[in-house]
Structure 1
Amino acid sequence: MLARHLHFFVALAREKHFARAAQACNITQSTLSAAIRKLEEDLQVSLVVRSQRYLGLTVEGEHLLAWARQILVDYDSLREDLSGLRAGLRGVLRLGVVPAAMGAVGLLTVRFRRSHPEAGVEVRSLSSREIQRALDNFEIEAGLTYLENEPLERVRRVPLYREGYVLAMRADHPLAARQSVTWADAARCTLCLLSDDMQNRRILDGLAASLGLRLTPAVTSNSFLGVCAHLRQGGFASIVPHTFRHLFGGTADLAMRDLVEPAHRQSVGLVLSERDPLPPMGAALSRIVLDVDLDMALQDLGVPP
């Protein structure tokens, strides 16, 4: 069984179409079909429901798909590991990050690149549920997400910092003159928040409910960029992670005030596959984060805990 045959099989399962899969692999459709037939002969099972068009995988094909993804990742990891011994780590670190952690991700990636200058980094904005799926499907090496609320399964967890919350608004907002704002006062604002498919929003809703409050935003977005755009129009306020002081703290027309009563904190950290050994990119990142105090790094950037 050749690794490239498994690669063709995974491409077919992804594209769900013989011609598209062949095009994605830069081969002819007949070559793809022959490779799938060779796999079936080697394993002595049918892998694809055959017809004049692709109809799906057999039960055996679904089982092979899970194994094939893992085998291909291990094969690529082996090549990267051996290559790294000779010339340093190369390739791309694929990192899934929940939107709320985007304010801190640069503290990790800069340190990673400093240690591995020949390696690239691809940061993907994903929900926590998407990070789980991407890790399970070997589409990313690591994720940056919440550790305590809706914890992910089948992962190693490395705590990095405790996320606090601030009320963000334009500098001419009535609450901008205060030193801090209570959750009760924040709940009465015209709010623009993340949509409820984001874990950050579910955390905020849960915290508000525990205080007998309800957050009813006038506008929702699945991107903090959309939230910021509404803040700049005036009249809106938003509850954002305290790390966003690092991103927007020097912006004169925006104000950020600590949310109190209570001053809530939520654990954010790195999640990696529980496989052993880890792929080289994930292993390299995990070694770096063990030597980083992100709470202190954020304070050095002017972001109080």
Structure 2
Amino acid sequence: MLAKLEMLIALAKAQHFGRAAQSLGITQPSLSAGIRQLEEQLGVKLVLRGARYGGLTPEGQRALIWARQIVGDTRRLREEMRASHHGLAGHLRIAVIPTALTMAARLAARFEKAHPAVSFTILSRSSLEILEMLENLDVDAGITYLDVEPLGRVTCSPLYREHYALVVGATHALAGKTTLSWGQLADVKLCLLTPNMQNRRIISRNFQRANIAPPAPVESNSTIVLIATVKEGGYATVLPREHAAFLAKGHDLEVIPIEGMDAPEIGLIVQHQEPYTPVIQALLQTVKSLSG
């Protein structure tokens, strides 16, 4: 039944029989047959079928919740047993908001020093994508905003608060300033993260509170693109101070702190399903040491 529950999870995620089958490395007829067998075993209809996938029935939605829990518990059991025989080992998948990637790298490096048999995949994603990936078991943990939007049933481990800075070239009109207020950015031509990023929405709220609307002709989901655009001249960008300092290092750029307004909390989130695997427990302990 476990394989069939994984088929249901994949189908709910892809919302398409062909794409779901491809993600599992099986044929579409095999997927369809597996879903039908699961329906027969449970005695209910799970999927609305027509010319194409029509969504899950109410029973299917409920079964999906159980499927995620059962598959997640099974994976945790396997990891627990492996750790008891071979020590702490495995692979951690972490989805991270773009502005926290430098912290994610620091976390992975510190963890790897203590537990060299654990490898990492670090993915840059929006805050909403992180929650979706965590729910679908596509990642083991996320690094995201803790106090900006509802996170659901997760365990949160704070890392730091995000304070902002303006990044400008050495010849920019604001170069040389020691600090700035949000109101001083009214006429600054900016390049910013795309509106689907929580960081952009936070910055926009700070602009609104300061009663300004600076132009932002260039948008990107990559902070590297933002820094490169500033480096080309004529633009400035707003980024978290530590992340900005890391990206600006070695370039002829200045990082000027912006005082006041929001300072949202960033931290690690994992699904709240105890007991945690030894690897996740060790990850939470590493986050605690970093935040301290």
TM range (shorter): 0.7 to 0.9
2:187 aligns with 188
Q: Deviations over 1:72-119 (max 9, x none)?
A: 111011101110121123332121211121232211111122222222
1:59 Cα deviation (Å)? 2.8
Does 1:289 pair with 2:274? no
Equivalent pair of 2:192/2:237 in contact (CA under 8 Å): yes
Counterpart for residue 266 of structure 1: 264
The answer (yes or no) to whether the contact 2:188–2:214 under 8 Å persists in 1 is no
Q: Secondary structure of the residue that 2:269 maps to in structure 1?
A: strand
CA distance in 2, matches of 1:245, 1:46: 52
How far apart in 1 are the matches of 2:28 and 2:244? Answer: 53
Further displaced range: 188-197 or 149-158: 149-158
Give the conservation status (yes or no) of the 8 Å contact 1:145–1:271: yes
Structure 2 CA distance for aligned equivalents of residues 107 and 177 of structure 1 = 30
Residue 256 of structure 1 aligns to a residue whose secondary structure is strand
Task: Give the whole-Å Cα distance in 1 for the aligned partners of 2:180 and 2:164.
Answer: 11
Deviations along 1:43-95, one digit per CA (max 9) or x if unpaired, are: 12223345576444333223222211221111011101110121123332121
CA distance in 2, matches of 1:164, 1:18: 44
Aligned length: 292
Structure 1 residues 195-206: aligned runs within 5 Å: 195-206=194-205
Percent of pairs with identical residues: 39
How many angstroms does 1:27 deviate by? 4.4
Structure 1 residue 173 displacement after superposition: 1.3
Classify 1:34/1:212 alpha carbon distance in 2 versus 1 (closer, same or farther; 3 Å).
closer
What is the one-letter code of the residue matched to 2:281? A
Distance in 1 of aligned mates of 2:255 and 2:230? 11
Over 3 Å counting, the alpha-carbon distance change for 1:248 and 1:39 in structure 2 is closer
Distance in 1 (CA, whole Å) between partners of 2:185 and 2:88 is 47
Equivalent position of 1:61 in the other structure: 60
Give the residue type in structure 1 aligned to 2:125.
L
**CA, structure 1 residues 137+10, in 2 after alignment: closer, same or farther (shift >3 Å)?**
closer
CA RMSD in angstroms, aligned pairs only: 2.5
What CA deviation, in whole Å up to 9, does each residue of 1:253-273 have, x standing for no partner? 11111223x376332212222
Give the letter for the 2:235 counterpart.
Answer: F
The equivalent of 1:234 in structure 2 is: 233
Match of 1:174 in 2: 173
Q: TM-score, normalised by structure 1?
A: 0.84
How many angstroms apart in 2 are the aligned matches of 1:127 and 1:115?
A: 29
Please report how far the alpha carbon of residue 231 of structure 1 lies from its aligned counterpart in structure 2 after TM superposition.
0.4
TM-superposition CA deviations, 1:170-203 (whole Å, max 9, x none)? 1221211222233222232111111222111221
SS at match of 2:56: coil
Provide structure 1 residue ranges, at least 5 long, that are not aligned to the other structure.
Answer: 295-305
TM-score using structure 2 length: 0.88
Q: 1:109 matched to which residue of 2?
A: 108
